[in-house]
Structure 1
Amino acid sequence: MRFNPRPSSKNYHRRGFRLRGNTLVLLFVFFLIGLFLHYGGRTQPVVAFWNDFRQIIGLGRSKSESREDNPYKAPEPGQSERGGASSTESEASDTKGNAPSPSAGSPKIVRFDFEKQVDFMLPVSKSGNEIIRHEGYTLSYRDEYKDAEWVAYPLLDYETTGDADRKYEQFKPDPEVAIGTALPSDYTRSGYDRGHLAPAGDFKFSQRMMKETFFMSNITPQTPDFNRGIWKELEEQVRAWAIRDNGLYVITGAVLKPGLPTIGKTTEVSVPEKFYKVILYCNKPDIRMIGFLLDNKGATSSLKQFVVPVDQIEQLTGIDFFPKIPDDLERKLESKGRSEMVDEWFSN
C-alpha cells in the first residue's frame, strides 16, 4: 500500500532573497525624496523630469523644452540655462573704461570736462546703501529690499556684439555683497522672472563680464509679461542707440519703497511696482538725456509712452542722477518734456 506524505505544518520558505512589503515602501519613499531633492528647485520640475527621462531612453528633449523663443528663461541653481558647459572667454576686449569712447572707424567722440571726473556717472542717494563695484558695472544695493536701487555702466557700440553667450551662465549670489544677496531658489515657483537690471545682452563682447550680470545683486523680481515683453524691447532699443551714437551712459533701477510685496523661501525679496532707465549721450558740444518709467507688468504701448522727465524719476526715487554735470545744464536736461525727448532720441 502506498501512502502520500502528510503535508508539514511548518512554514515553508522560498530560497533566495525576498523583500518584505514594508521594505519596498521605504525604498519607494526614499526614491520620491530623491526626486524631490533633485527636481524640487526647478521652475518646472515635472517638465525637467520628463525631459531627463526622454534622454535616458534615447528620445531626446521635448520640443517645448528645446525651443529658443524665450532668451530670458531662468537657469536653475546648479544648472546652466540649456545644459551649457563651463564659461569660455570671448576673444573680444575685456576692458571697460569709465567713459564711452569710439570704436575703430567711428566718428571721434569729444568728452566734456565733467565726464573726466572720477565716478562721473554714479548717482547719489540719501539711503544707507552698499556700493558694489564689478568690472562691467557698479550698483547700489539695498539690503532691506534685497534689490539694487540703481545699476550704472557705460555702454559702447562694440560691447553689444561678440561671442559671449548667456547659455553658459547661471544665477548665483554676489560674493562682493558683504550682507548677502537673495538666492536663485528664492524666485523658484514665485510667479516672477529673475529679471536683469544690467542686461546680459549689453556685455556680449566678454563672457567674463556677462557672467557678472547673473549675480543676484543685479537681479530683481519681474513679471514674465514685463521681463520678456516691454522691458526686453527697451533693452534692445538702448543697444540700438549705443550702436548709432557710438556709446551711452546707462542707469537702470527699481523704484524701492516700504510696504512692497515680497517673495522668497530663504530671504524676503521685495517685488518692485516700477522700474526706470536714465540714459545720457555726450559728444561735446552735443548732450541729451532721456528717462523711462514703467510699471512691472506687460504692456503693448509704444516705448515713447513711457518717456518721462528725469526730474520725475528723481522725485520718485530720491536719487540724484549725473550730479557732476553743472547745475544749470543738469536742470535743463532733466526737466525736458516727453515730446522734446522723443524728438531727440527717436527721430533718427
Structure 2
Amino acid sequence: MSGVRQAAIAAASAAAGAGAALLYTSTAQPRQPQSIKPEPTLEIIPPDSPGITPIPDIRTKSLPIQAPPPGLMITSSIFPNVKPEDIRNYGHPGPVADELKGLSLYGAYDRRTRNPLWVAEHITRESVAQINATRKNNFREDLSIPKIFRAKVSDYVKCGYDRGHQVPAQDAIWSQKAIDDTFKMSNMCPQVGKGFNSGYWRHFEDFCRNLTSTYPSVRIVTGPLYLPRQDDDGKWRVSYEVIGSKEVPGAEEISEREDHNFAPNVAVPTHFFKIIYGEKEPIDEDGNECSTGEVALGAFVLPNAVIENNKKLADFEVDVAHIERASGLEFVKKLDPKRQTRLCEEVECGYLVKQMNDKMKSKL
C-alpha cells in the first residue's frame, strides 16, 4: 500500500473518531451544576435610643417560580380525595327557619332563640270590622316545630315577662281558628309587661289597626331584635337575658343521662320592630291584586322596656335599611322605590300614640 493511501485512511479515521467523540460529549455530557445564590444577608440596624434591642432587618429578594421539568404532567391526582360537602350525607346542619303558617299569620321561626324571626299579618277594613270569635287565651306549643326546639308555655312561668304576641289576637277576631292560631308559642316573644306589652305596645297595635281607615289594605311584619349596646369601656356588645324551663322536651333522645341539666333557651329580645305597608290600591279595576299602586312604608323600632305614653311614635321611626341590617332580613326587595311613599308623611306620627288612636278611631 502506497504511503499516500495510508495517509488518507489515517486522516479519515481521525476525522471519524473526532466526530464520534464530539457526538458523545454533546449527548452524554453531564449538566453543569447551578450556581448557588448566597443566603440573604442579615443586617443589624443600630438602635435609635440606648437600651432598645436592635431588630434584625432581613432583606430578601423574591425568587421566580420554577417551572416543572419537561415531561412532568400536573394532574388532579396530586390532591387528596377530600369532599367536605359530603357532610350532607348525615343531614344538612342548617340553620333552619321553620315556616309559620296560619289563617291569620305567616312567618319564620328561629330555633336558636326559640322566638319567631318575623311574623306577617294582613288586615283590611272588612277584617277588623268582623267580630266572629272570642279570645280564649289558649297558649300552646306549635307542633309543627321539632320538639326539642319548641318554646313551651312553662318557659314563661314566673319569668317576669309577658308572652307577647307578634301578630295581635285582636287583629284575628274575624275567625275563631284565626285568633287561636295567634296563641301558638311560635308567635310569642318575652316582652316587658306593664308599661310595654300592656301599655305603649298595645297602643301601637291599635294604631296599626286604625290605619285601615286610611288604607284599604295594611300588611304588617313584626319581629324581635337583639341590638348591641356600647359599654363603659367603649366597646359594643350584644347582651340579652335567657329564660325558660330546664326540662327539655325530647332530651332523652339526645342523651341517656338521667339528669338533663340544660340551660334555659328562650332569648329575651332587646327591641322589637314593625314594618307597615299601607296599600293604597290593593285591587285593580279588574279585581286582581295590584302590583303597581303606591305603598306607604313605615318602619319602627321600640325597646323592650317601659315606654311612657307621652313618647311620640315618630321618635321610634327608622329607615327600613336599618332593620334589615340588624335582622339580616329583607323587606322591600321586590318593592319598586318608585311605588314607595313615607307613611309618616301621610299619617300623623308626631302625636302621642294614644292620642293618634283616638283621632283615627273617629274616622272609622
- Number of equivalences: 214
Q: Report what 2:332 is aligned to.
A: 322
Q: Report what 1:260 is aligned to.
A: 240
Q: Report what 1:150 is aligned to.
A: 118
Cα distance, 1:322 vs structure 2: 3.2
Query: What is the identity percentage for the equivalent residue pairs of Structure 1 and Structure 2?
Result: 28
Please tell me the residue identity of whatever aligns with 1:189: K
Q: Distance in 2 between matches of 1:244 and 1:148?
A: 29
Which one of the candidate residues 166, 174, 186 is aligned to 1:217? 186
- Using CA pairs under 8 Å that are at least 6 residues apart, name the structure with larger relative contact order, 1 or 2: 1
Please tell me the residue identity of whatever aligns with 2:139: F
Cα distance, 1:283 vs structure 2: 2.6
CA deviations 1:323-342 (Å, max 9, x no partner) are 2223x447x65xxxxxx642
* 2:258 is equivalent to residue 274 of structure 1: no
Cα distance, 1:127 vs structure 2: 6.2
Q: Report what 1:304 is aligned to.
A: 314
Q: Report what 1:170 is aligned to.
A: 138
Q: Distance in 2 between matches of 1:203 and 1:318?
A: 28
Q: TM-score, normalised by structure 2?
A: 0.55
Q: Distance in 1 between matches of 2:137 and 2:196?
A: 22
Alignment of 1:106-121 (within 5 A): none
Cα distance, 1:157 vs structure 2: 1.7
Q: Report what 1:141 is aligned to.
A: 109
Task: Specify the SS of the correspondent of 2:347.
Answer: helix
Query: Do the aligned partners of 2:278 and 2:297 also contact (CA within 8 Å) in 1?
Result: yes
Of structures 1 and 2, the larger Rg is shown by 2
Query: Do the aligned partners of 1:145 and 1:256 also contact (CA within 8 Å) in 2?
Result: no
Q: TM-score, normalised by structure 1?
A: 0.57
Q: Report what 1:188 is aligned to.
A: 157
Please tell me the residue identity of whatever aligns with 1:344: E
Cα distance, 1:343 vs structure 2: 2.4
Which one of the candidate residues 285, 292, 300 is aligned to 1:292? 300
Q: Distance in 2 between matches of 1:158 and 1:171?
A: 27
Query: Do the aligned partners of 2:216 and 2:280 also contact (CA within 8 Å) in 1?
Result: no
Task: Specify the SS of the correspondent of 1:319.
Answer: coil
Structure 2 unaligned regions, length at least 5: 1-93, 228-237, 248-263, 282-292, 350-359
Structure 1 unaligned regions, length at least 5: 1-125, 334-339
Q: Distance in 1 between matches of 2:268 and 2:112?
A: 12
Q: Report what 1:238 is aligned to.
A: 208
Question: Closer, same or farther in 2 for the Cα pair 1:176/1:329, shift >3 Å?
Answer: farther
Query: Do the aligned partners of 2:120 and 2:219 also contact (CA within 8 Å) in 1?
Result: yes
Q: Distance in 2 between matches of 1:322 and 1:296?
A: 25
Q: Report what 1:345 is aligned to.
A: 347
Cα distance, 1:264 vs structure 2: 0.8
Q: Distance in 2 between matches of 1:201 and 1:152?
A: 14
* 2:173 is equivalent to residue 204 of structure 1: yes
Q: Report what 2:50 is aligned to.
A: none
Q: Distance in 2 between matches of 1:227 and 1:157?
A: 24
Please tell me the residue identity of whatever aligns with 2:267: S
Moved over 3 A (4+): 256-259
Query: Do the aligned partners of 2:96 and 2:111 also contact (CA within 8 Å) in 1?
Result: no
Q: Distance in 1 between matches of 2:95 and 2:207?
A: 30
CA deviations 1:20-60 (Å, max 9, x no partner) are xxxxxxxxxxxxxxxxxxxxxxxxxxxxxxxxxxxxxxxxx
CA deviations 1:240-263 (Å, max 9, x no partner) are 002432221110000147642101
Give the root-mean-square deviation of aligned CA atoms: 2.2
Q: Distance in 1 between matches of 2:338 and 2:270?
A: 31
Task: Specify the SS of the correspondent of 1:172.
Answer: coil
Task: Specify the SS of the correspondent of 1:210.
Answer: helix
Q: Report what 1:121 is aligned to.
A: none
